[in-house]
Structure 1
Amino acid sequence: MTGHEKQGGAGGPVGRRPRAVRIAGLALAGALLPAAVAGGWAYWHLDGNITSVDINSALGDDRPARAVTTPPASGSAAPSPLPTGSLNILVLGSDSRSGEGNQALGGGDGSGARSDTAMVVHIDAGRTRATVVSIPRDTLVTRPSCPLASGGSTATAYGAMFNSAYSVGGPVCAVKTVESLTDVRMDHYIEIDFSGFAELVDALGGVDVTIDQDIDDDKSHLHLGAGPHHLDGTRALALARTRHGIGDGSDLGRIGLQQKLVRAVLEQIAATDLLSDPVELYRVANTATASLTTDTGLGSLTGLMSLGRSLKGLTADRVETVMMPVVPAPSDPNRVVAKQPSADDLWASLR
C-alpha cells in the first residue's frame, strides 16, 4: 500500500484527499485555509491528507430526496457564488481499533470499529444557524441491507443496535441506516476517530468545558469535579466517552457531555486567531485534515474550503444541540427506541 492509497474496508472504495472541521469540529480548514495554502506544497500536502468514501455511487438513487435549493440570481457579480442552501451532514466518531494512537486512547485490540458517537448536523438555508441532533448508539433500529465494497450486501436486520451499521458496512451502511431511520437525505459524511479528535483538541490548545456534576469513571480514566475545566485532547476524549461516572451509566448521559464538547470546540476555533500566525494555522489545518474521513463531495481541499467559507456566518451561539427523542425499548430496558411521533416530527423539521 503506497502513501497515496488506503484500503476501503466494508463501507466502499476509499481515496486519499483532505478532511477538515468547522461545525462539530467540521469545516475548519475551509474557513481558515486560504492563507495557509498559498504555497503549492502546502496545498498538495493538505489535499493529500484526506480519506474519502464514494457514498453516492454506492447507494445510488434509492435514497430520500435532496432538499430543494434556490439557484443564485442570474447576472450576479460574483463569478462563483457560495452555496446558501440547507445541508444535512452525518458526523460520526468511531472507536477504531486500528493504529497505535487509537489503541492507546481506548480503541482496544483488533481491527473492528463502531460508531461511538453519531450526530446529524442540519445547517439551515442561509447557513447562519444549525441544529445538531445526537442519535443514541444504543437505539434499536431496522438496519437496511447495505452494499459491500467486496460485492454483495448485508442482510436486513430488525431490532439491531444503531452503531452496528458501521461495524457491518462502514460509512456507506451508517449513512443508509440514518437515512432509513430519519427519511432525511445526508448530503455529506464526516468521520473522526479517537486519536484524531484528541490531536485536534491539542492543536487548538485545549478546550474549556464546565461540568455540572462530579465525574469519577475508572473505565475512561476520568476524574473531574463539578465546575470549569480546561481539557487537553486526552481528557476531552475521555469526557466524550465517559458514561459510567454520570447519571444511570447509559449512553444518554454521555450525549449531554458530547454536546458540551461540540460547543467547546466551536468556541475555541472562533477564539483562536489562527490567521495572524500562518505557521500555527498550517499546523492546525494539517491536524484537522489528517483526522477525518469524508464523502467524496468533501474529498478535496477546494470542496472543504467552499463549505467552510459558506459557513462564515455560523457561530457557536447559533448552534442548537438536541437528542433524538427516545423511550426504553419494550424488548430490553437497557436499549432505547425512537419516541413517536416526537422523533418523526424532529426529522421532518430538517427536511
Structure 2
Amino acid sequence: MDRVRGALAQRSKRITIHEVAEDAGVSKTSVSRYLGEERKLLSETLQIRIEASIARLGFRPDRIASSLRGRRTRLIGMVVADITNPYTVMMMHGVETACRRLGYTLVVCNTDRDAELERNHLEVLRAYSVEGLVINTLGQERETLHQLVEEGLPIVLVDRRVEGLDVLTVGLDNRQAIRLGLDHLVECGFKEVLYITEPLAGISSRRERVEAFETQIRARSGQLTGALLTLDGDHQDQALISRLDRMLHEATAPAAVFCANAPVTLRVCQALDRLGALKDVGLIAIDEQDWSALVAGGITTLAQPTDAIGEAAMTALVHGGHDGDGELSHRVFPATLKPRGSTTARAKPMHSNA
C-alpha cells in the first residue's frame, strides 16, 4: 500500500513543460516544439539547453496530452503597419489568396503605426498558436521578433527588414525602382527633381529608397540635380506647400517631384491642387493606384506587383525561403514603369530637336 501511495505521490509531482522551460530559460512553446515534430525549427543551442533540462529534471512527456496539443490550427497571423494604406490592402489580398490555396485561414491585425500595439498583436497571435507570421513591421519591436524566431515560429517580413533578424524578406527592389524612375525623368528632359518621403523612422524600405536616390543623383551629376524633403506629421502640410511653391518659382529648368509611396502622392497632389499647380510640375510616384490615371493628366507610376509579393511571402512561409546552400534567399520584385502625362507632357525630351 505504501508503495502504491508512493507511486501516486510521484505521479502527482510529475515535472511539467513549464518547469522544463523555466529551467532551460526558454519559452513553453520552444519546449513543445522540441518534443513535437518541429524540433528542426529550433537553433542547435536551444535544443541542447532543453535536452539538458529534460535530463536534469527527469521530465517524461505525457504522450496523450501531446497528441491533443499537436493538432494543427491551420491559422496564419498577419500583422500590418497601416491597413488604410492601399499597398497593404493589395499585398494582403495576395497573402490571403495563397492561404486559401494552401489550406490556411488568415488572421489579420492592424498596428495603426503603433509599436506597442504591434507587440500586443504578436503576443495574441502567439497565444492562438498560429503556424506562422507574415509581418509588415514598424521595425521597433526587435526583442519580441527575436524571441519568436528563437522559439522556432516561421516568420516572413514584407517590404521592411529588421536588422539582425534572420528571417526571409519579400518586397520591392527599391534600388531598381528609383533607378528606373530617374532614368525616365532624364529621358523626358527633366533637370531638377525633388524626392519626397515620409519619415524614415527605422523603416528599411524608406531608407533604401532615399539612399538609392542620393546615389543615383550623384551618378547623374551634370545631368540631373536632386533634393530631398521628409514630411512631418502635419497633415495640413504647410511645410510641403511652402516647399512646392518655392520649387515652382525658383526652378530654372524642367522640374519634377518624385513621390516615395502612395500616401505621399496623395498629399503632394492635394498640396499642388491648393497651389493651383497640379499640372505645372512633373510628377512620378512609386505605387500604382486606381486613381493614378485620372489625376493631373495621368500620374506616371512605378507599379509594385503587390499581389505577387503577398503570394510569394505566404508561399515562402509554408515552403521555406532558403536557397540550395541553406541560406536565406530574400526575394525582391522589380517595379514596372507606367508612363503618363504627368511626366511625358511636361518637359521636352532630351532627344527633341525643338
Q: TM-score, with normalisation over the residues of structure 1?
A: 0.25
Q: Which has the higher helix share?
A: 2
TM-score, reference length from structure 2 = 0.25
Which has the larger Rg? 2
More strand by share: 1
Q: Which of 1 and 2 has higher RCO (CA within 8 Å, sep 6+)? A: 1
